[in-house]
């Protein structure tokens, strides 16, 4: 095999369209641009969101509310989930954020808030970024404690 024997793949052998070279080429007359209109003219550039002067969708849709850019997002963690993981042996009585990440309950980049859904009967000391009042009551009534970390 030599270099002069090599052949390009069939998909690479297509010749380019030569537009505006007469009717016999099939791309003469209007050169595949249709008849009249903005896109048939030379130098036409229409933005993807432009609707021909019609009121754009972005401006037609009603806007309401306020999004606080400084809001702190928390990942929810229910008391019941912690109790289940302690019963299963995947968490110990002293629970830190790293333990929760290791058990797969929370993501390591998120802040965690303990919520009071469910029941807990084990004595547990848990550290989280935030805690609801009901969750704190349930953990403390079981003999445990909640530590808030910043």
Tell me which residue range forms the domain holding 121.
74-148
Residue 144 lies in a domain: yes
Residue 5 lies in a domain: no
Q: Decide if 82 contacts 119 (C-beta within 8 A).
A: no
Query: Considering the entire predicted model, what is its pTM?
Result: 0.58
Residue 28 lies in a domain: no
Overall number of domains in the chain: 1
Residue 118 lies in a domain: yes
Tell me the pLDDT tens digit for each residue of 68-81.
999 999 999 999 99
101: domain CATH number is 3.100.10.10
Residue 10 lies in a domain: no
Residue 59 lies in a domain: no
37: pLDDT confidence band, cut at 50, 70 and 90? confident
Rounded Cα distance between 31 and 36, Å, is 12
Residue 90 lies in a domain: yes
């Amino acid at each position: 095999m030599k270099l002069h024997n090599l052949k390009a793949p069939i998909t690479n052998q297509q010749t380019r369209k030569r537009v505006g070279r007469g009717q016999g080429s099939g791309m003469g007359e209007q050169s595949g641009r249709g008849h009249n209109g903005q896109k048939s003219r030379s130098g036409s550039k229409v933005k993807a969101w432009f609707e021909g002067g019609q009121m754009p969708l972005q401006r037609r849709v009603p806007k309401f509310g306020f999004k606080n850019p400084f809001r702190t997002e928390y990942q929810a963690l229910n008391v019941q989930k912690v109790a289940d993981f302690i019963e299963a042996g995947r968490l110990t009585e002293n629970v830190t954020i790293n333990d929760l990440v290791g058990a797969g309950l929370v993501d390591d980049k998120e802040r965690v808030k303990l919520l009071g859904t469910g029941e807990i009967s084990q004595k547990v000391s848990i550290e989280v970024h935030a805690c609801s009042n009901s969750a704190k009551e349930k953990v403390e009534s079981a003999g445990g404690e909640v530590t808030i970390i910043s």
